Amino acid sequence: MYAILDVETTGGKYDEEGITEIAIYQHDGERITDQFSSLVNPQKEIQPFVQKLTGISAKMLQNAPKFHEIAKRIIEITDQCILVAHNAAFDYRILQTEFRRLGYKYNRKSLCTVALSQILLPDEPAYSLGKLVRNLGIPFADQHRAQGDAQVTVKLFELLLEKDLEKKILKAQISNAHPNKVAAKHFDLLDELPTESGIYYLYNANNELLYIGKSNNIKKRVLAHLTSKSKKGLLIQKQLTAVRFALTGAELIALLKEQNEIKINAPRLNKAMRYRSFPMGIRVVPGSPYSILSIEQVKREHQYLSVYKNAKQAKLDMEKWAIEFGICLQQTSLARGSGPCFQYGLKNCKGACIGVEKPADYEEKINTLIAYFSYPYSDFLVILKGRETGESAFIFIEDFLFKGYGYFELNHQIKSKKQLYSRLISMESNPDVEKLIRSFLTKKKYIKLVALEGAQAN
């Protein structure tokens, strides 16, 4: 038996959605044997784009039954059934979430008609429900409403059943564990997690720290760990007994906290990030008559223009600078033999490779490159999103070095470094940190920059 269904939701943050409409068709593989459909009062706001997409408004749902009033009917019509939906992971997750809010563990096998269609209808140009059924000649009159979507999914599923003559493909798809199935012992942990940006900490039964991670949606990321089939995911699922978290508001602060706390705490499952995230760097080595740009492993005692995951990425940047800044590749660690470099023939290089370019002129290019990778001011704040309404976050740079981060209320201005330091959560600067901050500055992923009194402009 199958239960072919579709749900419409309020939209919003992951795992905080509510059902606004549901339609279920029970099917025995030959024909429909039972059906149920209803609007549902989600008791929460519907996102404007969802209202526009579905046509379902808050007014329409005022007198609709709440989920707990139809839960028994859903359990009955799907009992002993395999759930079938187009993008089944979504519909099944939403149902599990609603039942979990009622304290009920709702588990069914499931089957996704997207995955099934990709196997049995490999030549179709698109697999979204609307495009797929129209290309197959299946009438579709009431798109983005639960009953309309469920009805065409029934027609699509019947076609797929016909295509899968021996039912081998169907059985193989059903036998796979559902990607959103979470062990019952972890439901309570998930329910306590926020859907906001921050850092999370995973612990075992001995209160030992297993893993530190960051996410723009903590609940969604932890759920991914609990449904993963990777070696790390399975270890987490086996050992996890507690999850703690710290909201950060801004993504940049989450990134900075993550790399800093992993290096300090060295959790068992964070092996890759215990060390440098960007182990290769490019630095300026003073030389005579020309400065040299060197690609090398990052050392604590040196300053770097930029750092990289590997030497290949560093080389690509170096070659790009040869074009953009007129850097001579013969005056870098990429130099090969003697004589003019390739860029000299293209007139991007002015001849430092053969001693033609004046050292002072070449040094000016090096200084331009250094300025490109420097902070805009010696002392400034990067203002970012806070953890809640009415709060902002800041990153503090002093003497061109990262000092830490903090938070302040919007109705209180920070006017002095003394005030800054009183709110500052100090953090050690390192090439990884500088790389993260500069990336955010380059992409302008901040609210504003505030130069502090007496700051030098770069």
| Tens of pLDDT, residues 244-285 | 999 999 999 999 999 889 988 889 898 866 677 788 999 999
pLDDT score, position 30 = 86
Can you tell me the distance from the alpha carbon of 76 to that of 131, in angstroms, rounded to the nearest whole number?
A: 32
Does the domain at 184-273 match CATH 3.40.1440.10? Answer given as: yes
Cα dist. 144→18, 70, 129 in Å? 16, 21, 10
CB 149, CB 23: distance < 8 Å: yes
**pLDDT score at 177:** 44
CA distances from 108 to 72, 92, 185 (A): 15, 8, 17
**Half-sphere exposure at residue 74, Cβ-oriented, CA atoms within 13 angstroms:** 28
pLDDT in tens, 431-446: 889 889 988 998 888 9
CB atoms within 10 A of CB 447: 15
Domain ranges, ordered by start, for the chain: 2-175, 184-273, 280-370, 380-451
Tell me the chain's radius of gyration from C-alpha atoms.
Answer: 29
Instruction: Tell the burial category of 389 from Cβ atoms under 10 Å away from its Cβ (0-12, 13-18, 19+).
Output: exposed
Residues in CB range of 217: below 8 A, 6 or more apart: 13, 14, 195, 196, 197
Cα angle 144-146-149, degrees, rounded to a multiple of 5: 65
**How much is the pLDDT for 264?**
87
**Which 8-state DSSP code applies to residue 41?**
B
Burial (0-12, 13-18, 19+ Cβ within 10 Å), 190: middle
- Listed in sequence order, the residues at least 6 apart from 195 whose beta carbon sits closer than 8 Å to its beta carbon are 13, 14, 15, 16, 217, 218, 219, 220
pLDDT of residue 75: 96
The token duo for 103 is 């304290």
Structure tokens at 444: 């302008």
Beta bridge partners of 408: 392
Choose which CATH entry (1.25.40.340, 3.40.50.150, 3.30.420.10, 3.30.465.10) describes domain 2-175.
Answer: 3.30.420.10
pTM for this prediction: 0.66
Q: In angstroms, how far is the first alpha carbon of the chain from the final one?
A: 70
What are the percentages of helix, strand and coil residues in the chain, rounded to 5? 40, 20, 40
Low-confidence ranges of the chain (pLDDT < 70): 169, 175-184, 272-274, 411-412, 415
